[in-house]
Structure 1
């Protein structure tokens, strides 16, 4: 077979297998389609399918095919997070800057501290720290992996829960976006890449200047021209962000954040969002899993995965509850926001992959982080959905009594 035919076989697997599992086993409540796609990518990757059927895996997921899938995946997720950024009201970000900064700080800081504590415990045992990792790099790397929030998956879950455009959904996006920028900045420090740190500062300054120019140009364009200008702006921001070491997804999200939703027709924006979600995002979720290399590492990896899950979820919930106390949130809000922000998904896997490539962590630690990421994401909908229902019911009761 030629490369095109093999590529189509891979696409058939990507779209067919997760959908059938999701539909036949009716997993939507505890494992939405996006979760099945993430797990499907991991299972179709070299760690499971590649280990069981190495020749078949090498045939279907040949380097040329994987490169083609990665290109589709990158473009799809760039569009997806740009639209999520457009949904975020920049004026409200500035209006609620104290609340956003306070919540983001505690939501990132507490799971970071708890994850670092778990990493310090692991340093006492052989087999968890990578061959080239220093103690502080391992500790901070694992801690930050516990603090990550997966922005693309979070947007999907907010959409599924029908709160993406509601005030709470917008607040959660604000908190997660601030933490996302911080996470990739800390990664540069972990890798001791001081050139990258300088590039990040340069990107932030250049982005601020170019945003001022871009917004003035967009305000003068017709809507049809705005769509082309938006795509050009998306590519520029994503390139600059990735060049600076902040990851192209951060740039794509920032590209959308500085655009006003009322520049575009709402129906067209909704249609684009749904088409990207249907056509492109499954390729992203599965292709990321296809790049995941891991080894099981014995039963101890499950214990460590549970320890990291406790540090991640517990730290996030404690941090958000502290922020809620300081900011005097309504009862129940901190729990809902905390559970949504603890969603890990693919960002944590990408982050952990980098640590593994740099030999800061071992395959066993990576597997534990992988298990933590999958479990934390699967917990989100079953925990948050009833909490939202109770919150909505309490609101209706309060309105009726008043």
Structure 2
């Protein structure tokens, strides 16, 4: 199998990426000529009302999110689908339409900046958990097959996303956003796989310890790291401006990543005895990448990656952070996303665009996983299982889309389309996996020569 892997890598990773860049590059320069309009200054609330209104909003958001998550779990869906949907139910698309007075009272403009700060802090903590949960030992031992297929599950959908960006009707790319930047971001948006959500789905369905589940986790882990690196590069291009500034940001990001891996990681392995120190590392790393010019979430992700896996102190710290994040902070993040989502953007032509994007997203992941997996020598059942798993986008996709909307790279109309696509593809994963036959006792071959 190892002899064919370089050819598979060239055909299903190098070639799609080269074609995608060829299609995207002539489309325009990489410098934004306009920025998203600044939000209007919210009407100030009396000082004695801000805190209790914020607590009231948080109480309602958490209650609705977890109730929706519990309901969806009963239907065989991961709770995160219900929690994401709850954010939209509380926003202008549902509550604002059915009871605008209630929505205005629950989310007055004066608390929105505070709610957004809490949501962004929750996002940073979530990305730390994602980085810490990456199975580094499995990734090191997964060999060439997982690396080739993991990169292919990013490359082919990336090409499809670039093609989608060129085909989308006028109005889905914001004015002033270069076609190159828009195409690159659409490529990233369609190539994402939600590693944390997939891990939960596999565990809930008893597939995590099966051969196909183990291979799926390794493949998704490779793809997850790759997708975040590509997104960091796209954000750098968007924020950078001149080529010199972009190169400087890329160089600083690589240098910081090397510092975290080669210096901070060994220090943590030896001296990680204080949870306060661990929190300091997470926040300082997030601050560093934000100042470098990418995004704070990448620093938090790196901090999670370099945490020692065998430390009881780190495990206890991560467990507490995850509890706070899952129970409180992420529902607040979903609420802020829901407040930005206007489903009326899907009206008329939008539904056709949604069907087109959904077909492209599913098709890109299925072809981009099934074909290289078969070419690498995996059997059909395992290849179909991998394709089904890689189609799960979940919370990771919402995070990516939120970054794009905040940077002004995608319009609210496309944001609504892509969020709906993320929900549908995530909801598809569990039921489709349940229909797959259980894997045989033989473990798929993971060992190979990395290209």
- TM-score, structure 1 length as denominator? 0.82
CA contact (8 A) 2:374 2:380 kept: no
Aligned-pair Cα RMSD in Å: 3.4
User: Alignment partner for residue 189 of structure 2, among 145, 153, 157?
Assistant: 145
Q: 1:133 to 1:146 in 2, by over 3 A?
A: same
- TM-score, structure 2 length as denominator? 0.74
Deviations for 1:339-378, whole angstroms, at most 9, x for unmatched residues? 3332233443454455556665444333222221221121
User: Alignment partner for residue 332 of structure 1, among 358, 362, 381?
Assistant: 381
1:232 aligns with 2:280: yes
CA contact (8 A) 2:83 2:331 kept: yes
User: Alignment partner for residue 39 of structure 1, among 60, 80, 85?
Assistant: 85
Structure 1: any 5+ residue segments left out of the alignment? none
1:83-102 matches, cutoff 5 A:
83-96=129-142, 98-102=144-148
Q: Relative to structure 2, which stretch is displaced further, 58-67 or 107-116?
A: 58-67
1:1-400 matches, cutoff 5 A:
2-23=49-70, 28-96=74-142, 98-122=144-168, 125-161=169-205, 167-168=214-215, 169-189=217-237, 193-194=241-242, 195-196=245-246, 198-221=248-271, 224-225=273-274, 227-264=275-312, 268=316, 271-272=319-320, 273-274=322-323, 276-293=325-342, 295-353=344-402, 355-356=404-405, 360-387=409-436, 390-392=437-439, 394-395=440-441
1:10 Cα offset (Å): 1.0
Determine the C-alpha separation between the residues in 1 that align with 2:199 and 2:294: 19
Write out the 4+ residue segments of structure 1 that deviate beyond 6 Å after TM superposition. Answer: none
Residue-pair matches, total:
390
Structure 2: any 5+ residue segments left out of the alignment? 1-47, 445-451
Q: 1:52 to 1:244 in 2, by over 3 A?
A: farther
Determine the C-alpha separation between the residues in 1 that align with 2:135 and 2:402: 32
Q: 1:197 to 1:120 in 2, by over 3 A?
A: same
CA contact (8 A) 1:294 1:366 kept: no
CA contact (8 A) 1:301 1:367 kept: no
Q: What corresponds to 2:12 in structure 1?
A: none
Deviations for 1:197-246, whole angstroms, at most 9, x for unmatched residues? 5323202212312432323322333x642x33322221122222333444
Q: 1:212 to 1:190 in 2, by over 3 A?
A: closer
1:151 Cα offset (Å): 4.7
